[in-house]
Amino acid sequence: MWRRFLGRLDVRSKSDGAIAFCARAQISGGATQGLVAVLTCIIFWEGGDGPLLLGWTLAVTVMSLFRSLSSVWLLRNMGNRRSAGIWGRANEVNFLFQGMAWASLAWMPYDGQDFGALFLVFFIPMGIVAAATHNLSALPLGLAALSYPIAISHFFGGLFLLGGPTGLLLAICAVIYIVVTTAGAHMSNATLVNECRLTRINNFIAARSRATVQELREVQSRLMEANRRLEQLASHDPLTGLANRRALMERLEQERARSSRTGSGFSLLLIDLDHFKAVNDGNGHQVGDAVLEEAARRISEGLRASDLAARHGGEEFAVLLAETGLADAVTVAERIRARLRDGSIQVCDSSVHITGSIGVAAWQGDRDRVDAIMSRADQALYAAKALGRDRVELAEAPAIMPRQILASSP
Kindly tell me the burial class for residue 248, based on how many C-beta atoms sit within 10 Å of its own C-beta (0-12, 13-18, 19 or more): buried
Query: Which positions are catalytic?
Result: 315
Q: Comparing C-alpha atoms, which of 395, 409, 247 is closest to residue 337? A: 409
User: Which amino acid type is present at position 7?
Assistant: G
CA 269 to CA 319: how far, in whole Å?
5
- 78 Cβ partners below 8 Å, 6+ apart? 16, 19, 20
Contact between 67 and 26 under an 8 Å Cβ cutoff? The reply is yes
Contact between 154 and 106 under an 8 Å Cβ cutoff? The reply is yes
Q: Comparing C-alpha atoms, which of 230, 28, 226 is closest to residue 133? A: 28
User: Which amino acid type is present at position 279?
Assistant: V
Q: Is the dihedral of CA 257, 258, 259, 262 positive or negative?
A: positive
User: Which amino acid type is present at position 68?
Assistant: S
408 half-sphere exposure, CB direction, 13 A CA radius: 21
String of DSSP letters for 66-99: HHHHHHHHHHHTTT-HHHHHHHHHHHHHHHHHHH
- State how far the alpha carbon of 333 is from the alpha carbons of 307, 339, 356, 362, in Å: 13, 10, 10, 13
